[in-house]
Structures are given as structure tokens and as C-alpha cells.
Structure 1
Amino acid sequence: MGLKLLVGLVWLLSWLPFRAVSALGWVAGQLIASLPSSRRHIGEVNLRLCLPDWTPAQRRRLLRRHFVAMVQMLLEYGYCWFASPERLRRLMRIQGLQHLKALEGRPVILMMPHFTGLDLAGLRISMETPVVSIYSRQKDAWLDEFFRTRRLRLGTGIIFSRQQGTRSVIRALRDGYRLYYLPDQDFGHRDSVFVPFFGVNAATITGLSRMAAVANAAVLPCYPRREADGYTLVIEPALDDFPTADATADAARMNAVIEAQARRQLHQYFWLHKRFKSRLPGEADFYAR
């Protein structure tokens, strides 16, 4: 019942103008940022590792802005789940769509790091091209089914669970779907290499280069940029000479691209995930208290 009430609240918020939801998110985000929590600890550790030249006060201000952006994103899920296609177009503009259109007829992977607005961006790009994406199953059966139906509500994409592996994804790529792929979280040691991210060695999956090689797919980096009256989905040109025969070098290049995107809008990147949880033998746990 609690989950359904929350969904109902988000549905009500979806009727409000974007600026009104932003204002509510600012108030709630400021409050949540001031409360001690495990997520705040994770954010503090990540920012200390990634921005060592910043003062503690500068990092605290950035983390507070990030909490606001995260809460605003959560309150905006009503737009993802319930807004009309016309409203979605107004809320999520696209910059660089020509880079995608130029690859008509070729498999494409849209490399989307974890930024606020990523789900709205995924739904929006599915209005321009058929999209396949990968998701993590929810433990609650009702919530899992709700998320699935909302993501597929426009009839412009397909999704596979992470547990299903990549064969179905590769097949969809070859069938003309474009893969909306989020490769920048710590999934453990399996299928990962350790390469720098903001100067810190991070367990990084090599799925991007492997799938690009198997499907002969172009890789287009992209990210959503939150603005006063909505978002702009920025699609960058395809990566040249990618993938190579060196999966570790490809993973390092991917992280460098994501870092460059994050530095343009640091408060909008996901800092509350244990990005550096997996460590090499003998290395200490960064997040231990």
C-alpha cells in the first residue's frame, strides 16, 4: 500500500509545472542533505577521493547541491511515468540528434552515465529511435511490473533484465534497436578491469567495448543537462577508433569521457553510489567507518 501511495503522490506532482516541482525538490533536498545518513557518508567519501584539491567547505556545498538535484529527479519521475509525448518533448530537448541520425542503418550504443534525468532522457530518445535497455529487477513484484510497464508505455522500446545477459541485447542491436547503456557503476570484479576515474582506480566493466565489437556498433556518448525549465539531452559525436583490441584501454577511455561530462555539471552526477567499493587485494575499504 505504501508504494502505491508514493506512486499516487508522484502522479499528482506530474501535473505541476517543472519549476514548481524543482522548488519542492530544492526544499526537500536541503533538508535531507542536512541529515546524517549512509548515503551522505558515501557522497563525502566519493567527493574527497575525486576532488582532493577542493576544500572541505567546497565539497560540502557540492554535496548539498547534489542532494537537491537527486531529490528533484525523484519528484520528476511523474513526468517519466505519466506525461504525454508532447510534454516530454518540451521537458527534454535534444542537442546533437544529427549524430544519431547520421548512423541510420548501423547498430548504435548510446553511452549514458548516471546523471540525474537519465530515465527521462531514455524515454525521450525512444521517441526518435527504437531503444533497447537493460534494467535491474526490483525485489517487490508489483513495483517491478510497474517500472516495466511505465518504461515501455510509449511502445518505442524493449528492455531486458541484467540477469538475462547480453545475447538478447546483441540480437536487438542487430535488429535495429539502439542500446541505451549505463556502464559506470561498480558491479564487482567479474568482467571488470581497474582503470582510473577522477584519478582513482575503479572497477570498470568492459561490456561497452565487448558489445560494440560483437555488434559492430558505433558508440555515442550522451548525457542529460538539467536546466531551469527542463533538460537538454546532449548527444556527442561517435567515438573514433572504438573499440580496440585492448579492453583495458577502452575502459580507461570510457571513464575519461564520463569524467569530462561529469566535470561540466558535477552536482548532477551520481555521487551516492559506492563507485570505489571493489578494491584490489590488500587495498583498504574506502567506505569503512
Structure 2
Amino acid sequence: MSGQNTVSKQRTSTRETRYSRFLHPRWWPTWVIVSLMWLMAQLPLRLQWVLGKGIGELAYRLIPRRRHIAEVNIRLCFPEQSPAEQQALVRKTFHSNGIGIMEIGLAWFRNPKAFRAITEVHGLEHIEAAQARGNGILLLGGHYSTLDLGGSLVSLFIEADVMQRDHNNPLMNAIMTRARERRYGVALGSKDLRGLLKRLKQNRTVWYATDQDYGRKGIVFAPFFNVPAGSITATSRITERSGCTVIPFSHFRREGKPGYDIYFHPPLLDYPSGDDLKDATLVNHTIEQEIRRHPDQYLWMHRRFKTRPSPDDPDLYRKQT
């Protein structure tokens, strides 16, 4: 018992990436998980999609809380669909995100060149034009189910940095950070705005996502699929201070045979406008349009509408009794 207490008091920085710091037996269960991820990543892609769909089906059946969140989000965002269509989309969303879990191993442990032949990039000229202008590029991304692999595949075509939310497990975070920095230039912490501005001033391209609920601080309520959603204003401040170009981009898995598409779009115009609500509405609409390409490939299990315009507004995710 005393030995366990000693271990529990050890502090390992979530930014520690030296594997030698994770040799204690307390980390062995994580190493087992990582080893399984590596082994699964060596399987043929088509088989991984089948296994991922199976993982998604299990999650759909066994994790009712996440299923409920997805059901609420899809009911709010696709009111034009019948209840049966909405439920089918919920289930397909779990399948797509299950495949996304399998693709994490591909992103971390496989060379993206292995998938170059089945990856097509669209709109690369927008990146090239923005790089020629200088001042850096803010890649406006979203939380699609291809999040990790899509980012790895992007590295086949451009050099970019990434902002990431550090994993709660320090060893898993070390593996994730090392993997991403093999593909990207630098993996910045999600709150490292100083580092972000520095990279932009060096005319770097930085992947940045704004499409989650980050609480009540520094937000406006802008429509997202016509539902008021807490939307951060930091993107406008970053763009204003750096003079960077904001280019929306997305990445999706093809239907049917294995393959991927990466989309770079024309830069946002009149942005920032000086009106935070107008800016957030433009960003939300831009991401919404990309989600509509493949709505099942979005992270609908996140409580996107958790923060309401008024603290007295009802919780949209509370189950009715």
C-alpha cells in the first residue's frame, strides 16, 4: 500500500515525451494498449474499417449516455429528417467514429505515404497563394472522425503545426505528441496562444479547431445548424493580431472502397469584421457546410450545445422523466 502511495505522488508532466520516464509498472497497462494499437495498425485498411464499424456498433449498444448525446444533437441539427432517419444517422455516426478509433493507430504508427495512392487533395492552390502572401495560415478545421489520420495525411501535401488538447494519460500524451510531431512541425498546447502567434508570424500553417463547447468564457452565441451555440471569439482575436489568412479545411473517408479526400477552401473574406457575432456565425456556417458532406463523420457525441445563452435555460441533454 505504501508503495502505491509513493507512485501516486509521482508527477509526470503531460508534456514529457521521453519514453524512459514511463518504465515504471504503473504504465504497463498503457503500454499494453499501445502495443495492441500498433498491432491493429498493421492490418489491411479494409479489415480495419470492418473492425472499426464493429467497435462503433458495440459503443452504440453499450454506451447509452453518448448515444443519447448524439441523438439530441442530430435531432436538433437535422429536424427535417424523420425519427427513423435521425436514428439511422446516429448509428452510422457511431460506426464512422469507431473506424476513426482504428485510424488513430494508422496516424500514430504508419507512414502516411502508405496511403498516398488513395488520398486526393482539393484546393491546394489556396494554401500556396496564402503562403506567398506571408503572415501565416490558420487552418480552420473541425472534429471529424478522421481527425488524427486526416491530419497525418495533410502532411503529405503541406508543412503544418497543430494545436492539441493534451491527453489526460501522460504516457498516451507522449506517444500522441511524438507521433504528431513526426508529421507536423510543432504540437502546440491548446492554450498556447503565444506559441501560436509566434508560429503564424513565422509564416507557418497551424491547424486550429473551434467547433466544441469550451464553456461560457470568451464566447458569443452564434447559430450552428440554426441552434444557438457557444462559439469562441479567440479566432477573431488571433487573426486580427497576426494578420494571418484563415483557410477552412476538412478531411473525409470515402464511402465504399477505402480512400480519403482532403479539402482546402478559399480563405474567409472580411474576417475578422470587428463584429464577434458575425465572425462566429461565419465560422460556424463554414464548418456546418463541411459537415453536411458526410454528416455521419462528425463527432456528434460531444455536447456541442451544453452551454446555453442563459444559465436558466434547460439542459438540452437532460433526459425527460
Give 1:189's aligned residue: 216
**Contact kept? 2:59, 2:94, Cα under 8 Å:** yes
Give 2:123's aligned residue: 96
Deviation string, structure 1 residues 10-36 (Cα, Å, up to 9, x no partner): 211221221111111122322321235
Distance 1:285 1:117 in 2: 29
Aligned partner of 1:147 among 176, 188, 193: 176
Measured after TM superposition, the shift of residue 213 of structure 1 is 1.4
Measured after TM superposition, the shift of residue 116 of structure 1 is 1.3
Give 2:190's aligned residue: 162
- In the comparison of the two structures, how many residue pairs are matched? 287
**Contact kept? 1:13, 1:78, Cα under 8 Å:** yes
| Residue correspondence of structure 1 range 96-245 to structure 2 within 5 A | 96-105=123-132, 106=134, 107-154=136-183, 156-164=184-192, 166-227=193-254, 228-245=257-274
Deviation string, structure 1 residues 115-136 (Cα, Å, up to 9, x no partner): 1112222223234333222111
Aligned partner of 1:273 among 296, 299, 302: 302
Most deviating of 279-288 and 66-75:
279-288
Give 2:103's aligned residue: 76
Give 1:250's aligned residue: 279
**Contact kept? 1:113, 1:182, Cα under 8 Å:** yes
Deviation string, structure 1 residues 40-64 (Cα, Å, up to 9, x no partner): 1110111111112222111110011
- The residue identity in structure 1 corresponding to 2:47 is A
**Contact kept? 1:118, 1:223, Cα under 8 Å:** no
Cα–Cα, structure 1 residues 179 and 209, in superposed 2: closer, same or farther, change >3 Å?
A: same
Give 2:317's aligned residue: 287
Distance 1:226 1:161 in 2: 27
TM-score normalized by the length of structure 2: 0.85
**Contact kept? 2:103, 2:148, Cα under 8 Å:** no
- The residue identity in structure 1 corresponding to 2:57 is Q
Name the SS for the 1:103 alignment partner: helix
Give RMSD over aligned pairs. 1.6
- The residue identity in structure 2 corresponding to 1:22 is W
Distance 2:289 2:191 in 1: 30
Cα–Cα, structure 1 residues 91 and 152, in superposed 2: closer, same or farther, change >3 Å?
A: farther
- The residue identity in structure 1 corresponding to 2:170 is A
Aligned partner of 2:55 among 12, 25, 28: 28
Name the SS for the 2:262 alignment partner: strand
Distance 1:169 1:36 in 2: 36
Measured after TM superposition, the shift of residue 209 of structure 1 is 1.8
Distance 1:80 1:92 in 2: 14
Q: Which of these two proteins has the greater Rg computed from alpha carbons?
A: 2
Distance 2:84 2:209 in 1: 31
Measured after TM superposition, the shift of residue 170 of structure 1 is 0.5
Distance 1:84 1:134 in 2: 21
Measured after TM superposition, the shift of residue 175 of structure 1 is 0.9
Name the SS for the 1:153 alignment partner: helix
Distance 2:140 2:191 in 1: 20
Distance 1:160 1:222 in 2: 19
**Contact kept? 1:79, 1:88, Cα under 8 Å:** no
**Contact kept? 1:135, 1:160, Cα under 8 Å:** yes
**Contact kept? 2:150, 2:252, Cα under 8 Å:** no
TM-score normalized by the length of structure 1: 0.94
Most deviating of 110-119 and 85-94:
85-94
Measured after TM superposition, the shift of residue 91 of structure 1 is 5.0
Distance 1:263 1:138 in 2: 29
Measured after TM superposition, the shift of residue 179 of structure 1 is 1.2
Name the SS for the 1:264 alignment partner: coil
- The residue identity in structure 1 corresponding to 2:150 is A
Deviation string, structure 1 residues 183-223 (Cα, Å, up to 9, x no partner): 10000111110011111100001122221111111111111
- The residue identity in structure 2 corresponding to 1:142 is L
